Amino acid sequence: MSSPPPPPPRPQLPDDLIAEVLSWLPVKHLMRLRCVCKSWNTLIISDHTFIKLHLHRSALHKPHLLLEWNDSIFTRSFCVTHFSGSRLVENPSIISLPDVTPKRDDIYTVVGSYNGLVCLNGCCDSAYSGLGREEWICFWNPATRLMSEKLGSCRVDNNSFIKYNFGYDHSTNSYKVVKFVTTHLSNNVSIRIYILGDNVWRDIQNFPLLPLHLNCIGLKFWVHLSGTLNWITSRNESASCYNRETITVEQLAILSLGLGTETCTLLSLPKGFDEVPCVLPSIGVLMDCLCFSHDLKKTHFVIWQMKKFGDAESWVQLLKISYQDLQREPLDETPYTHYQLVPLYLYNGDTFILASSGDDDDDDQAILYSKTANTVQRTALTTTTTEKILWFLASEYVESLVSPLRVGSSTTVA
């Protein structure tokens, strides 16, 4: 009796088709699929082309915002929420940092996010027993739960104040961090840059003007766009902070630092901006364009969009809305107020997500405004704690497979 014929070989999908299908999956699912076989594990973790393709596909999904909250002791927990339909999803995903250190006095805050990597600033007040504090930066991928070691560690004098900025240089495929170090006892400011992979801070020479927000604690007034870092500045070199009584419209400008050349360019503000507002204006990025927003006569909020980056003639007014329509009280007559509105995201050219902050706790929230429907919604995000969500520090975030353990190397993707 003859033996039965062998079963026909199981059909195999081509490798490129497998990569195409997997590239559409969330990172969480891909982490599980690494166990299917060695070739899938290599594809997901080490294949630069696949990682870049997945990042591109992930960026097509609805926006995510990375949020943090402060429990007055230390910050090491974060949450991610996304926009669905016409609202921010409630009950955001809570993400804790890996337990990279047992020290509970380590404080982590988000500097910025790009390509799914989050740049964190860490510090420890007790590191030098009253002689100063230790500060460092590190990189974290919330989707893969991977975190780099402490980088660029330095001791900081207790009289010094540091602001960090984070961006990506497309010309060299490298991540760069710029920091401003100011001393309370003098007007000296040093500007230093750190390139991931070099592991050293070095000075930036010939920095012409300083941002006006250096003394604004807890507020983020810089943006990264097209390989540049951008701030609001004054053409008056003696101006170190925003004072509407001494500054003029003609003096205000945007300072743009090219991360590739490490040179600065001054960008003029919109010609329709003709009155110094009572609160410091802000800049942002909406629909991949630089935006400038400001208060108008304490009754309206205005957003301008630069259609072509670097071209001052391409400014257009994107939004002008009264505080009444935003269901907010007009700004009061006090010379200085903490009230601010900053655009975080623009969905489908219609729905704005705005971060609101003010002197009252009720002012700190996210506002969703639809231009078409002329409707306003406020967030009702809930977490496992009752702590205050720091909306002004929100960062746009996209899930990716980019590894923070190999930043600055050839595994970096554009």
What amino acid is encoded at 309 in this protein? F
Helices (H), 34-176: 38-46, 48-58
CATH code for the domain in which residue 95 is found: 2.120.10.30
Q: Is residue 46 part of a domain?
A: no
With cut-offs at 50, 70 and 90, classify the pLDDT of residue 244: confident
Q: Is residue 102 part of a domain?
A: yes
Selected residue with higher pLDDT from 87 and 359: 87
**Total tally of structural domains belonging to the chain:** 1
Q: Is residue 1 part of a domain?
A: no
Q: Is the pLDDT of residue 321 over 90?
A: yes
Q: Do 34 and 42 form a contact (C-beta atoms < 8 A)? A: no
* pLDDT tens digit sequence for 76-90: 567 777 776 566 766
* Predicted local confidence at residue 100, as pLDDT: 53
Q: Is residue 104 part of a domain?
A: yes
Q: Is residue 309 part of a domain?
A: yes
- CB crowding 291-310: b at 16 or more within 10 Å, else e: bbbbbbeeebbbbbbbeebe
Q: Is the pLDDT of residue 112 over 80?
A: yes
Selected residue with higher pLDDT from 184 and 103: 184
Q: What is the mean pLDDT of residues 95-106?
A: 64
Selected residue with higher pLDDT from 199 and 303: 303
Q: Is residue 409 part of a domain?
A: no
Q: Best-predicted range by mean pLDDT among 156-170, 291-305, 344-358? A: 291-305
* Predicted local confidence at residue 5, as pLDDT: 76
Tell me the C-alpha distance between 65 and 376, whole Å: 19
Q: What is the mean pLDDT of the chain?
A: 81
- CB crowding 102-120: b at 16 or more within 10 Å, else e: eeeebbbbbbbbbbbbbbb
Q: Best-predicted range by mean pLDDT among 54-68, 140-154, 377-391? A: 140-154
Selected residue with higher pLDDT from 51 and 198: 51
Q: What is the mean pLDDT of residues 127-155?
A: 82
Q: Is the pLDDT of residue 412 over 50?
A: no
With cut-offs at 50, 70 and 90, classify the pLDDT of residue 315: very high
Helix, coil or strand: residue 325: coil
Q: Tell me the percentage of the chain whose pLDDT exceeds 90.
A: 30
Domain span holding position 371:
62-397
Q: Is residue 372 part of a domain?
A: yes
Helix, coil or strand: residue 373: coil
* Three-state helix/strand/coil letters over the chain: CCCCCCCCCCCCCCHHHHHHHHCCCCHHHHHHHCCCCHHHHHHHHHCHHHHHHHHHHHCCCCCEEEEEEECCCCCCEEEEEEEECCEECCCCEEEECCCCCCCCCEEEEEEEEECCEEEEEEEECCCCCCCCEEEEEEEEECCCCEECCCEEEEEECCCEEEEEEEEEECCCCEEEEEEEEEECCCCCEEEEEEECCCCCEEECCCCCCCECCCCCCCCCCCEEECCEEEEEEECCCCCCCCCCCCCCHHHEEEEEEECCCCEEEEECCCCCCCCCCCCCCEEEEECCEEEEEEEECCCEEEEEEECCCCCHHHEEEEEEEECCCCCCCCCCCCCCCCCEEEEEEEECCCEEEEEEECCCHHHCEEEEEECCCCEEEECCCCCCCCCEECHHHCEEECCCCCCCCCCCCCCCCC
For 254-263, 335-344, 400-409, which range has the lowest pLDDT when averaged over its residues? 335-344
